[in-house]
Structures are given as structure tokens and as C-alpha cells.
Structure 1
Amino acid sequence: MKIITMYFFLIVFLFQTIHAQENGKSGSPYFMIQGDSGVEAFPLLSTSVDVNITGPIADVVVKQSYKNDGTVPIEAVYVFPASTRAAVHHMEMQIGERRIIAEIKEKQKAQQIYVEAKEEGKRASLLQQHKPNVFQMNVANIMPGEEINVILKYVEFIIPENQSYRFIYPTVVGPRYTNHTEEESSFEQNPFMRAGNSPTYTFDINVGINMPFPIIDIGSKSHTTDINYYSASFAEVQLAASEIYGGNRDFVLEYNLSGAAIASGVHTYDTGSEKFFLCQVEPPDLDYKPEINAREFIFVLDVSGSMHGFPLDVAKELMRNLLNQMRPTDRFNILFFSGGSFALNPASIEATQSNIQNAFFQMESYSGSGGTQLLPALRKALSFPKQEGYSRSFVIVTDGYVAVEEATFNLIANSLGDANFFTFGIGSGVNRYLIEGMANVGRGIPFIVTEQKHARKEARNLKRYIESPVLTDIEIKGSNIEILDVIPEKTPDLLAERPIYYFGKYKGGANSSFIISGMSGTEKWTKTLELPLPSADNDVLPFLWAREKIRLYDDFNTVNTQEYRIREITALGLEYNLLTKYTSFVAVDQTPVTENSSDTRQVKQPLPLPQGVSDLAVGFEMDIEEMIFDGEVISEVEVIVECEDKMMKKISEAILETYLSDLHQMDIVELIGLSIELEIHPGGKVEVKNRDNTSLEQLLKTIEQGLQAIGFMNNEPIELKISIFSL
């Protein structure tokens, strides 16, 4: 009998917290613990946001207020999210009546300036970008009783879909898992509050909307708001007073224009040395009906710990709608993933009612546990044999709480073939960079589903997109004008109900126009737009053009990491005063406030878990790899608890044995949807009677879920040795 032994190290949340704070080596999130009573633990006092939306452009001002209610100087560290399209072009620090305007510097230079100011006892602030949607603010030497405000300004281009506009202000960064172990700054290593706890800071947002057409149907599905109309085309939206602690979920505002119009046209701006334009064209009316090929759908469903509870309920409702709308001629497969992965079938199967019902049955057996091993799951899904004569689409359903964006984009780009990737972000504070990036690289569309009641609508949107006519071979040309640095450089095929847009520079101007053309089936489509005179009101166009250029070079282009590309992005950030991966904002008050900088304590602002996310998203991760071994039949599994703390060892063994002993035959069928005969022995040994490897793999996942309880009860590292005996 061959013995295969696997070791899993569970470093539970309290141990992780202490280890991370003392050694700074852990890259994982952890729960907050109360430290020195003299040190301010929650330095962020409030976040207030003012938004002015004019046409397709949002101008946003964010005010973060920090206060030290402790007895020693502190350095506040706050990790916060941003829109993936935000062009951050201004930062200032306010101390009483003084305003210190931040300067944009190369990242390493900005860090050096900040550290030197901190060590010299000066107040300073540093804004850095970790990801296109994750920023970090450091504010040094906040004295006891002192309040410091930091102001950020950014602009964002809003792209309407289905004739509907949506403005999103992200409020919280969900926990991320990473393999980082080196001693470096890592935003993933951040304290979190327990599930259900409100943020310790207040949140307020005010949005003014000024459009060229009458506004209708303004509303927020995420927050309660008060809406005032000052004219048919100008309205103001304010957060209701009851939402003062509503910073635990993204603020989402939707609005439509009368007659399903969108703000089409050309906007121009002249800096004196360069001329910029934004050209946006309403979706063309494509009246031909495309041929709909037989389709194969590979669903990749996240059932990890962060999806436990509400998010997984939303995902299941979405999956029910996605599966029910398939045609009988379609084929499908589902890959469930957490720390490991389990395929519904080795290859895709027909979308018959019996197969769909079996998929529902299997899906209901998952309740959310374990880590989020997205990359191995995608590799496995991509390896599924492709059905000849079928158009393949991958549909990924996840909250995106992992820090493997770049590697994921690379994998999709290098394995794409003729397939498309559609993504569904699940929850109130998803990782939009990952969700949008996978769809962008995979030539698909991203969707966000925040509640179960929205699942059917978003499932129908996917169906409509797939079956919609497409405008192909799209290009832009100029008449009596020279067009330069156009973004996108190559226009992708356009699904119906999405506008065409271009950012760029131009030379010339008098009696000039843009000509946009494409193919609608076999018919040529053309649209001509006259070039207007430059307007001082469009002074944000340089920021937007540069941000789109950076997005093209950096956000999703992770394959090419040549020094040339880094220099280009750095140069764009410095020239156009933009926050990038390689440029940061730094502000220093030159008046020292403390003589001994060693007294300053660093405090990381604890973050709330996104609304609906459980504690299982934070703490530890145990990976159970595939349990299927070629040519071998597994006959026995033994789980042994090893821990230096003898009392903790006994407690853990008791919990484990109790859990295993409760797994009676009918319970197992209900839990995993499959029958498996077991004999439970003292100490955690599980004898497999019917030698069903697939059932065993599922059972180990439920054991993993039960072991989550151990991790929340102790502060000692526990080693769980799982021995698999195979014939």
C-alpha cells in the first residue's frame, strides 16, 4: 500500500496578526487586535466626496480627515479603493489654515522625501498606487489632538451601456491573498474589522449631474439618497443622513436621459502647445440579425471562504439564471474552485434539463470555505477539451479577492484562442480591477451583481450581448485635420448598445470633422462629427487622455515589462501630474513638530469587511489539492492534529473528531451531493468504504470547511497532517 502524505500549515488569524505586526513578513490580511491604549487605533475620522458630472465626465474631490485622539504622535496608513479609470491629478494637505500642495515625483524619490520629512519630525503625506484601483495614503507626525485633512482630485470618463449611465465610487478594499513573503510594502497585509461591524469613520457623498438632455430615473441601488431637481437636465443627489456609516459598500448611482439618449459629440481643449479631443458616438442602430452559433459555456465558480453566505447566495442565483437561459443545443461545464477545484464533468455536457438540474444539485452542496486559488482553477478550465463546431465562452463568477491580477491577465492572453471571457463580480465591494481586466483581456464584458434580485437582469444582459449584432472593422479618420496619439489604437469589435469613443490629439481645426466607420454585417456604417472650437471648460481632457494612455500601457499590459514602457508611464505621470504605478504625490510641511521621530507610532487604519462578506474571508487559507491519483484507488484518509500547546492540541482534536463523527451517511449526501461510505475512528481517521475518489475529494472540502472553526479559537500554529492511503 502506497502512502501519500500532505502537510497543511494553518497559521490562524491571531497568530498571523502578531506575526505580521512584529515581523512585517506576512502578505495576508488579518483581524485587528487592540494594542497600546495610548496609541490612536482609528486615525481616519471621515471621508467626504463631492462629484460634478457634466456629460460623460465626472470631476471628483475627495476629502479625508485624520485625527489623533491618542497621547503619542502617529503615522496614519490608510488603504482605500478607487475607480479603475480615475485620473488622480491633484493632492494637498491642510493643517488648520495652511495648505501644502503636493508635488508629483518618481515613486522612489517621493518615498525618500516622505521618509526624510518623517524622520525630521515634519508633517508629511504620501499618496501611492498599488493597483489601478488600490491606493495608499500615509500621513506622518499627526500630533496628539491634531486633525489633518488631505484633499484628492480626480476625473473619470463614464461610459454608458444600454443607454444607461452608472457612476461608481468604491468605498472599501476587500481582503486579498498573496504569496508575498519578502519584506516589502504590501497593501494586502492590512487589519480588518469583524464582519457586521460598521466603519469607524463617517462617509458622505454629494453628486451634481448636468447633462445636455433631460434626466430621468436617477437612483442608487446601494445607498439611500435624497434627490433634488433644479431643472430638467440638472439634478443633485445627496447621501441620506442614515447612511453616515455606509462606507462598507461601493456607492452606485444610475441615471438615464430622456429618449434613451447619450451625450454624443466632440469635446476639445487647447493647452497652447497641444490640442486634445474626446469623440463619443452613440451606438449605431444595427438592424441585421447575426447568425447565432451553437455555444459551449465553461463556468468557473468561486466557492471560497470569502464567498460564504450572502455572496455565494447571490452567485448561486446568478448561476441558476445563466443555466436556465441556455438553449438545448448549447453545452456547458462548471468548475467549482476554492483552495482546490472540482469539475462537474471531465468535458462539457449538453444543456438538457436533467444535466442542468444535476448542476443545481451539485452547486447547492457548497457553502463557501477555503482559499481562493483562481490561477490553478483557470488553468484547469482552459485545459478542458474543446467541442468542435461550438463557439466557446468562459464565464467567471467571483468576488476577486486575490492579488494575482497580472498573472491572471497573462494566462488569459496567452491561452485565449477563439474564446471569450465574461466576468461577474459578486458582492458590494468587488475587486473591479480583476473583474474588468479579465473581461478586457478576454475580449468580453464585465458585469457586477450586488444582490440576488439583480441576478436575473445581469444574466439576461450576458445573453443579449452574446446574441447582439456586432460592428466590426471600426476606424476613425479626419477631414482637414491630422489626428495623433489616438486611444484606443485599434478599435475592438463593438457589441450593440455600447458607444464608440476616442481620446486623442489633433492639429488643424478650421472646417474639420471626424469620420467614424465600420461594418454592420455586409453593410458599411459611417458617422461624421464636426470639430468644435476648443473650450476652457474641457481642461480635464489632457488628464483623461494621459490616463487612457497609461491604462493601455500598464493596467492590462503585463506581458511587456520592458524598461521603455516603464519610462513612458513615468514620463506621462510627471508631465501630466498624474498618480501612476511609478509616480506618487508627496506633500511636506517644512515646520518640525516633534524632535524625536522615534516616538511616532505607525497605525494602519482597520478596514471594514465589505457588506455581506463573512469572517471566513480573513484569517488563514488551507489548500486541499486534487485528490485524484492516476491508477490509484484511495482507501483511507487520516487527519492528525499536531501542536506544541498540548491543551490546544486536545481542543482541536476534539473539535475535529466531533465534526467527523457527525458526518453520517445522509449528512454526507446532503453536504456534497454524493454517496460515500465512511467508518470514523478516534483521532480523526476516516476509512473509505466505497473507494469513490470524486466523492472523497468533495468530502475533504467539507472537512476543510469544518476546520475553519479551529482557526478562530486559538493563537497557536496548528499543523494538520493528512495521510492518504491508496492501493
Structure 2
Amino acid sequence: MSQMLDRQPAGLYVQTPDSQQIAFPLKHTEVSAKVAGNLSRVEVTQTFENPFTTTLEAVYIFPLPDEAAVDEMLIKIGDRTIKGHIKQREEAQQIYQQAKEQGRTAGLLEQERDNIFTQSLANIQPGEQIDVIIRYSASLQFEGGNYEFVFPMVVGPRYIPGIPIGENAVGSGSAPGPMSQNQDTDLVPDATRLNAPILPAGTRSGHDINMTVEIDAGVNIQAVRSPSHQLHISHEGQQVRVGLVGSDTIPNKDFILRYQVASKTTQSTLLAQSDDKGGHFALYLIPALDYAPEQIVPKDVVFLIDTSGSQMGHPLGQCQELMRRFIQGLNPNDTFSIINFANTTQHLSPVPLPNTPNNQSRAIAYINQLTAGGGTEMLQGIQTVLNFPLTDPGRLRSIVLLTDGYIGNDNQILAEVQRHLKPGNRLYSFGAGSSVNRFLLNRIAEIGRGISRVIRHDEAPDETVERFFRQINNPVLTNIQVTWEGEGESPVVYPAIAPDLFAEQPLVLFGRKADAVAGTLQVSGIPAGGTLYQQRFEVNFERGGNPAVAQLWGRSRIKAVMNQMVRGETKSGVEAVTQTAIAYQLLCQYTAFVAVSDEVRGDHPEASVSVQVPVEMPEEMSYEGIFGSIQHLGSVDAGYAPSPPQLNRAISPKLKMSIRRALYANLLNERGEYQGTEVPEEPRRTHKPQSPPSMPQRSFLDMDKMRSQIQGESSDSGDADISDINDVQFSPESLPEAEDESLSVREFEVRPQLEAPSESVKLTFQAPKPAMPPQRLKLVSVTGLDAEAIALLTEHLQAVQLPPGVSGELVWELRITNGQVKQVILDEEESSGDDPEVAEAIRRSLFTWRAELSLSTTVLLRVRISA
């Protein structure tokens, strides 16, 4: 393993096995975009450079727009260009690994989330510069006469909840930072692929970025502007060319470009094309409907605000300002409440409040006192708001979420909304910051039948709030139906169920007609006035046309199927996504681009040094909010327990895991009964010396995550906050000779972050062994494992707690790499059980099972559940 040394402005430094110091910067990113109407075609060129004498491999985690249809990847070495080919992901990884071991230069482009990608580049030779070229198509956002083009530049650090799994699950957890990597968990089994190393404050990587956007709208363009960057703008007829000012090229924030067109023809646009895969079309429609103010109905609004550590500073300040404007903008007959979440949830009131002057003042005071700190336990916040009481069933419940979305368990949140959002309710999402998780914000609003907005931390909120109320008060078109008239088969249209429209919001549809026979597309809906709205479009599939239309249909189909799998991967869903991606040559989570040089270019590929490229912290994101003011807390993972740095090496991994779980899983309720891994409302307090110095705010990754039943002993009096802990040491004499999983009472030495470093605190906790549930799970058949592994897996699954009265059989496909379960796929056609909670419990348990390190295989598993 290479190590990071002192960081210098020139780039990332590593230490090789022979103690040679090497710098490896990602030198430059060049982005060139061409915009025509509603579509953009973007080329991203990443330039990697190796100025030293050791062969390098670079691994770079970076963002692209979550709706982007990525369809090309090339690597350029000197005057040679090597085209990447789309393959199933496992096959592409094998090709890349083989090429790497042979000494061939190879590139591998993978998708981790819709907006997070990994670029690996192997065998970069000494003195060599290599370009990686990525191309994609995307639709522009269009609303209220304004077009918006967005290019994200950095992946912000994700909070990772769950129980650590994998080879280093015990004793090696770490935060996303220059010297560390996140750890996979049962909730985020791919966490290690989401967080790039973050450069420390005040440090530059040497990597810069340049943007060029050419706009050809066919009409005059006006009001070209960017809230994020300084622009150089030039006009030539109806074309506009936009570039960055040279002083604004740090890749630490989203690039946002907005402009208007001097034409009313943008109310509807239909694009069509035809190729060997059939005819495709894209429809962008804004119904020309108006609303009278008296048609506004009373509503109930519940605001859910993220106050975790990643919001510290300007992002929380912006959310507070948005909240104040929201409260002031409510209609007199509306009701409202406020819920905030970090490690725990709190609320302004247990029931909705009438919108009176007194309640507004009470709400503003509540908003003003909010502070940021702790982890982003968004699931708790979502569950709280979805179950929040409704005092007037006749009101439309609107949930407004304010967050940066920096979490790794996106799908768990989406699944919760998908399953439990009540009919007729709406969920709207607002992101405040320089580089928020647009994938989560967009998808949660889409599933929640609402709208999504992103506002920078330094933008004036007035226009955003005014537009939001204009839309939320005026649902323009509901019960939208899309029908086809004409010969041949009907087209497949996405989204399959058209969303309700709000004021100034476009309806965007992508369709494919396999026989490419012309016809008429009709869109109808019911406006609030009750009069039927209809509009018809003649669709002619001419050969050729803009190929981006077909690519975007393929991307829309992939998104639709992935939305169906937010509760967990299924065999039919994975196959559908993979087949679509291969047919349309698109990148997805089950495909990858791989490019390999023909010639062997490295004499000693085994001596190559692998480096993960560090990234900037997003602009105005707080280092203290993410990492806290504690300089070193053992090794701290984003969202899960640190492992005590002085853990006795003689303790077995089994006992270490028990200690880890006991410290952080809250194994006891107030009556001393086992209750799984639920987190209590407040951490227990311990004792500390009197008159301590002022303590820092709890951080995004701090010890506030410790949730076991802790009792303190100290020679001095006073209360110590758990977040003050600076060091934890096991007392070896307190550990048993036998590996008793119950642990009984164990003692730890804790060194608070106090002025007097010699003072310490003794902590004890009790974590009895949970009662084993009845053995309701039985392995009916297993292929791909030997008898010993089957016995261990059987024992592992017998600990799964299942709800009563459930029976059936579930068939699973496990993909195991180096002993770790990397993918768990449910074969729903072969399964007879359909309880989602049971499937989720078994899925999470399977992710935590470990096989022999040498095992890499696919396992087929049939599990029977007895009632």
C-alpha cells in the first residue's frame, strides 16, 4: 500500500515500497458543450500526467449530471486514440485487470450512482501524459422561460450509515480524507467507491478545469448569466459562446449557466429520429394555462430540514433563510410544522400549527436557533415526516425537504418515500450549497410527485421562494394521459405515468416506436378549472435525426427500471437495465467502458503504484462540519463507529466486532431488552473534570454516533459530552479470556479532549447476548459454496429476525469477490414470498456474511421461511 506524505501545492504525493517519493496530479479537465434547443452534447477530457520514473495507476471519483446518457469513452496516448467498448461490468473489470497485469495501458469507466463515476487508468508510463475523453447527451432544464445548463465538478463526502462489512470491518474504519477510505456497510455495500480523498483545508491539488459552452437556440439569446462562476461571453448572430474567466477554474462547485430565449415558440418542442433500433421522440411541453387566485386551496406544509454537520456554515444559513421566507409566504388558511434531523429528529410542534402571527414568530425563533452537527440520519427524518399526524384530512399535505443530500444510502430513502408517501401528498426537495447531490434531490421529488430546486448558498432566495409558492399554489394539470393514434404498435413512453404539472414546469416525455411508423401523439389532462385540456403532435420518424433522442430514451428506460429497484435489486430488473444499456451503448451500474492498448507498454507492471486522486472540498462546505475539530479519533468512518486505536491485538475479530456493535448499536432499551440497532433519542452522559473548556460543536463524523448504554466512573464530578472524546483505550485486564459474545460488563479508558491531557475517564457498558430467534430460515439449496461455507452461511442466517406470520421461499443470486458479498439479487420470478421487510432483512444479512478471502464466485441460494 502506498502512503500519503506531506501535501504540497504541486499535487498528490505518495510513498512507494522502495521509499521513492512520487507526485501524481490530475492535471486538467476540459469541458466542451454544444447546446441546441433542449439538448446538450458534452465532451469531458481528463488529462493525467506522470512526470516520474514509476509506472502509475490513477483512480478518480468524479460527478456527471444524473440524467446524462454517457455513450462514449476514449483514451488518447500521444497521437493514438483507443476507443472504449461497452461491456457488462464484471467482464469489463476482468479485461481491465488482465490488461493492467500484462503491462498494457487501459482505461475503465464505471458508474456508481447516477451522478457518481469512477475512472481508472492503468500503466501510465513515466514521463507520459494521457487524455481520457468522455462524451454524453443530456436535456436542459427549462422553466418559466429560462434554460439551465449544469455541469457538476466535485463529489461531496457522503455520510455512510449501517453496520461495517468486509475484510476491514473491524479496527480499520476511516473517514473520507487524504489518508483514508470509507468502509462498506450493510446499508451501503459500495461505500468504498463513493467517497474520494478530500484535500485538507488550504491545499490545492494542481488540478484545474475549463468550461466552454456554445449555444445555438435558433433564436436570439438574452440574459446569459451564472450564479456560480465568472463568465466570458461572446455573441455571433444567434449563437453565444460562454467560457470561464481564468481566475475561476477550481473544480469545487457546480457550473450553472442560465439564459433566456426571445421567443414564445419554446412552449412545445417535439424532436424525432429513426435508426436500426426503431423510431424515437422527445416531447417538451408547457401547457399555456393560467390560474385564478381564488382557486388556491388550503394546504398543510411540513418542512423537513437537514441540520447535520455537512450543512454547517453557509448551507445551513441559506436553508434557514429559505425557511423564514417559506413561513412568511404561507397562505392565511394554511397549516405548517417544522422537523429537523441529524443524528436524531426534533420538531417545532407535534401537530400542524395554524398560520397565525404568533405561530409564525414561534417558527422563526425555532429556525433561528438551529445549529449544524452530527451525522445525516435522513431515514429517521423521512420516517418522522411521513408519519407526521394530519389534523385535517381535507388538506393537501406538502412535505418540503431541505438538504444537501450527502448520503450513501440514497435508495433506502427513495424506497421509504415510494412505500409510505400517502396518496395525494407531495414531496418537494430543495438543495442549498455549491455542489449538492442532485441525483437524490431530483429522484426523491420525482417519486414524491413534487418538484426539485437547487439554490446556491450565496444566491438570493426571493425568486426561488416566489416561484415555489406560485407552483405549489397552482397545480396546473393533473391526471395526464398520453395516447397514440396511428398504425402499428403503440410507442413505449417514459415516464410511464406522467407526473402532475405545476406552473411554468414542462412535461418531458421520451418515446420509442419499434416499427418507426408515423402517428399522432395526444396529451390530455384536467386543469383545476375542470375543463379538459388536449394537445396533439404529429410524429414523423425520419431516418437519421439527432441521435441524442434515442440515447435519452434509453437513459429514461434505465432510470425507470432502476426506480423500481430502490427496495433492492431483482434479476429481471438487472437484466432489463443491462440489455438496454448494451443495446444503446450506455453506461449504467451494470455496464462499463473499457479501453486497452494493443501493445505491452510496461516491463514490470507488478511495480506499478496505484493512486486515488484527491478532490477539493465543495465550496463553502465546512471541514469542521465533516471532520469535526478533533484532530484524530482513532480512525473515524463516515457514519459508523471508530475502532479504538489501542485495541489489544490478541483479541479475536469476532470479539472485536461484538465490542464495536455494543459500542454503537444500542443493544439495550430502557428495560434492558435487546432491540436491534435502533438509535435512541439522546446519548448517555459520562463524567468529566469540573470547569472544562468550551467544547466544539458535534461534527458530521463525531462520537455522537456512540449509542450504547454507557455509564461513567470518574474521580471528579461533572458531565462529559460523548462528542468530547478524543481517545478510547481498552483496558486489557477487563477483557475475558474466553470469547464470550455476551461481553457482560467491559471497561474502557476514555481521554476527553480537555486542557489537562493526563485526566481520563473509565467507561463501562453492558451488552448482553441477544436472544436467538426461532430458526425460521432454512437453506433449501445452494450452488457455488462448499459444505463448510454452507454451514457457516446457515448459522449466519439463523440470526435474522423476521416478522411473524410470514412464509415462502426466496431465491437469491450472490456475487462474491475476495470473500465479500458485493451484490445481492432477488429472483422474484422464482420466489414465492413478497414481503419487502423480510426481503430487506435477509438482503442486509447476506451483505454482512464473509466467506474465505480467496473466494470469488456467483452463488445461487434458495431460502425457505416458515411461519
TM-score, with structure 1 as normaliser:
0.82
Greater CA drift, 109-118 or 332-341: 332-341
Gaps of 5+ in 1: 1-17, 23-30, 642-652, 664-680, 688-698
CA distance in 2 between partners of 1:723 and 1:297 (Å):
42
> Deviation at 1:292?
3.0
Q: Does 1:150 align with 2:158?
A: no
> Deviation at 1:516?
2.0
Aligned partner of 1:467 in structure 2 is 473
CA distance in 2 between partners of 1:348 and 1:103 (Å):
55
> Deviation at 1:712?
13
1:89–1:153 Cα contact (<8 Å) kept: yes
Aligned partner of 1:659 in structure 2 is 694
Among residues 157, 162, 166, which one is paired with 1:182 in the alignment?
Answer: 166
CA distance in 1 between partners of 2:285 and 2:512 (Å):
17
Structure 1 segment 138-287 matched on structure 2, within 5 A: 138-178=120-160, 179=162, 180-183=164-167, 186-231=192-237, 233-245=238-250, 247-259=251-263, 261-262=265-266, 264-272=268-276, 274-287=278-291
1:479–1:514 Cα contact (<8 Å) kept: yes
CA distance in 2 between partners of 1:605 and 1:69 (Å):
15
Structure 1 segment 57-76 matched on structure 2, within 5 A: 57-76=39-58
1:53-101 CA distance string (max 9 Å, x none): 1111100011000011333111100000010110000001101111110
CA distance in 2 between partners of 1:382 and 1:711 (Å):
39
CA distance in 2 between partners of 1:102 and 1:142 (Å):
17
CA distance in 1 between partners of 2:583 and 2:117 (Å):
20
Aligned partner of 2:813 in structure 1 is none
CA distance in 1 between partners of 2:724 and 2:505 (Å):
46
Q: Could you say what secondary structure the match of 1:47 adopts?
A: strand
Aligned partner of 1:332 in structure 2 is 336
Among residues 386, 408, 413, which one is paired with 1:403 in the alignment?
Answer: 408
CA distance in 2 between partners of 1:142 and 1:263 (Å):
50
> Deviation at 1:434?
1.0
Structure 1 segment 340-351 matched on structure 2, within 5 A: 340-351=344-355
Aligned partner of 1:323 in structure 2 is 327
Aligned partner of 2:508 in structure 1 is 501
Q: Does 1:413 align with 2:418?
A: yes
Among residues 76, 83, 87, which one is paired with 1:101 in the alignment?
Answer: 83
Q: Which has the higher helix share?
A: 1
> Deviation at 1:380?
2.2
1:638–1:722 Cα contact (<8 Å) kept: no
1:32–1:191 Cα contact (<8 Å) kept: no
Among residues 378, 384, 391, which one is paired with 1:380 in the alignment?
Answer: 384
Q: Does 1:580 align with 2:592?
A: no
2:62–2:117 Cα contact (<8 Å) kept: yes
What is the aligned-residue identity percentage? 28
1:102-148 CA distance string (max 9 Å, x none): 11000000000001111111110100000000000000011222111
Structure 1 segment 356-395 matched on structure 2, within 5 A: 356-389=360-393, 390-395=395-400
CA distance in 1 between partners of 2:754 and 2:323 (Å):
31
Amino acid at match of 1:417: K
Q: Does 1:429 align with 2:435?
A: yes
- Say if 1:258 and 1:631 are closer, same or farther in 2 by CA, change over 3 A: farther
1:651-697 CA distance string (max 9 Å, x none): xx79x93226x99xxxxxxxxxxxxxxxxx9878546xxxxxxxxxx
> Deviation at 1:277?
1.6
- Say if 1:262 and 1:535 are closer, same or farther in 2 by CA, change over 3 A: farther
- Say if 1:636 and 1:711 are closer, same or farther in 2 by CA, change over 3 A: closer
2:220–2:262 Cα contact (<8 Å) kept: yes
1:39–1:74 Cα contact (<8 Å) kept: no
CA distance in 1 between partners of 2:375 and 2:13 (Å):
23
CA distance in 2 between partners of 1:355 and 1:94 (Å):
63
1:480–1:509 Cα contact (<8 Å) kept: no
Aligned partner of 1:644 in structure 2 is none
CA distance in 1 between partners of 2:499 and 2:682 (Å):
53
Q: Could you say what secondary structure the match of 1:402 adopts?
A: coil
CA distance in 1 between partners of 2:301 and 2:223 (Å):
34
Q: Could you say what secondary structure the match of 1:313 adopts?
A: helix
Q: Does 1:516 align with 2:523?
A: yes
> Deviation at 1:329?
2.8
Amino acid at match of 1:395: V
2:297–2:473 Cα contact (<8 Å) kept: no
Structure 1 segment 429-468 matched on structure 2, within 5 A: 429-468=435-474
Q: Does 1:491 align with 2:473?
A: no
> Deviation at 1:461?
2.0
Q: Does 1:639 align with 2:686?
A: yes
Amino acid at match of 2:309: G
Greater CA drift, 266-275 or 477-486: 477-486
CA distance in 2 between partners of 1:188 and 1:254 (Å):
29
- Say if 1:260 and 1:224 are closer, same or farther in 2 by CA, change over 3 A: farther
Aligned partner of 1:593 in structure 2 is 601
- Say if 1:326 and 1:282 are closer, same or farther in 2 by CA, change over 3 A: closer
CA distance in 1 between partners of 2:236 and 2:683 (Å):
72
Aligned partner of 2:359 in structure 1 is 355
Amino acid at match of 1:568: A
Between 1 and 2, higher relative CO (CA 8 Å, sep ≥ 6) is seen in 1
Q: Could you say what secondary structure the match of 2:333 adopts?
A: coil
Aligned partner of 1:671 in structure 2 is none
Q: Could you say what secondary structure the match of 2:98 adopts?
A: helix
- Say if 1:549 and 1:704 are closer, same or farther in 2 by CA, change over 3 A: farther
> Deviation at 1:711?
8.5
Aligned partner of 1:311 in structure 2 is 315
Amino acid at match of 2:418: A
1:282-321 CA distance string (max 9 Å, x none): 3332345574333222211111111111111111111111
> Deviation at 1:42?
3.7
> Deviation at 1:513?
3.3
CA distance in 1 between partners of 2:543 and 2:377 (Å):
50
Equivalences, count = 649
Give the alignment's Cα RMSD to 1 decimal. 3.6
Aligned partner of 2:706 in structure 1 is none
- Say if 1:40 and 1:426 are closer, same or farther in 2 by CA, change over 3 A: farther
- Say if 1:585 and 1:683 are closer, same or farther in 2 by CA, change over 3 A: farther
1:306-339 CA distance string (max 9 Å, x none): 1111111111111111111123432222222212
CA distance in 2 between partners of 1:242 and 1:337 (Å):
38
Q: Which has the higher strand share?
A: 1
